[in-house]
Amino acid sequence: MTVYFIGSGPGDPELLTIKARKIIEKADVIVYAGSLVNRDILKYARHDARLYDSAELTLEEIAEIIVTWARENKTVARLHSGDPSIYGAVQEQIELLEERGIGCEIVPGVSSFTAAAAALKKEYTIPDVTQTVIITRMEGKTDVPEKEGLGTLAGHRASMCIFLSVQAVERVVEELKKGYPDTTPVAVVYRVSQSDEKIITGCLDDIAAKVKREGIEKTALILVGEFLKSSGKRSKLYDKGFTHGFRKGCKEGWKRL
């Protein structure tokens, strides 16, 4: 029996990993998060594969489907959007399967937070600007530990990517202003990598109004930080005066070792 938890990426079917596509192509059973996973990805499934949309299912119902088919020695693929390790609710599923003696393999995927940086042509970690990326969310139906509140995290002024919170963008901005200056650049990326992708840019002072004007209330990331500006900074890695294991730096230039 083989069960795979697969990260199906941010939406563009071409951002599936090669491994993910191969498993989808051979799977007997596919359980996919229909509210999030682009259905175009299912075109890689066998014509006789059994498909289950988990959007309206409970955790126990999903586990029952997977366990039933796994015990029939079928290859089961459980598709999650992005990467399963980030807000994928994957751990609870794995634990239920393990209680029933069903093992699994996780196939990582391209996360929307990396796809968003690609869409913006930005790097989260800029020398002398920030070397830290905070991935978080605003509390909602799911609580957030008090020590991880946005206002507290904002005090680090690191690059930040906020999931599952655009519906509360005004509250998000209010909390972020506890640490970031009002002029801090912000980008909101809606349905990244998909045909209707939309990017809204601004700063903490005006981004909420722009997002409200566009009517965006879900499926969007909020990116915050100075990394969104052009910095003019360069890394040490390719500096002609920097020595590392493959070359020796000097004032005049560098020599390959």
Q: Which residues, 6 or more positions from 16, have their beta carbon under 8 angstroms from its beta carbon? A: 8, 9, 24, 41, 44, 109
Same domain, yes or no: 103 and 174: no
Same domain, yes or no: 43 and 97: yes
Alpha helix stretches (DSSP H) within 71-168: 90-99, 112-120, 150-154
Q: How far apart are CA 68 and CA 130, in angstroms?
A: 48
Same domain, yes or no: 44 and 96: yes
Same domain, yes or no: 89 and 120: no
> Rg of the chain over CA atoms, in angstroms?
21
Same domain, yes or no: 76 and 159: no
Same domain, yes or no: 140 and 123: yes
Q: What is the pTM of this model?
A: 0.89
Domain count, the chain: 2
Q: How far apart are CA 155 and CA 173, in angstroms?
A: 13
Q: Which range is least confidently modeled, 137-141, 152-156, 170-174, 188-192?
A: 137-141
Greater confidence (142 vs 207) lies with 207
Same domain, yes or no: 117 and 218: yes
Mean pLDDT of the region 224-228: 97
Q: Please report the DSSP string for 148-208 in residue order.
A: G-HHHHHTT--EEEEES-GGGHHHHHHHHTTTS-TT-EEEEEESTTSTT-EEEEEETTTHH
Tokens 């586990």 locate to 63
- Taking only the tens place, the pLDDT of each residue in 53-93 is 999 999 999 999 999 999 999 999 999 999 999 999 999 99
Same domain, yes or no: 88 and 188: no
Is 248 a member of any domain?
no
Is 177 a member of any domain?
yes
Q: Which of 56, 73, 107 is the last residue of a domain?
A: 107
Question: Can you give the CATH number for the domain in which 212 is found?
Answer: 3.30.950.10
Domain limits for position 27: 2-107
- Taking only the tens place, the pLDDT of each residue in 113-126 is 999 999 999 999 99
Same domain, yes or no: 116 and 224: yes
Q: How far apart are CA 12 and CA 32, in angstroms?
A: 15
- Taking only the tens place, the pLDDT of each residue in 171-221 is 999 999 999 999 999 999 999 999 999 999 999 999 999 999 999 999 999
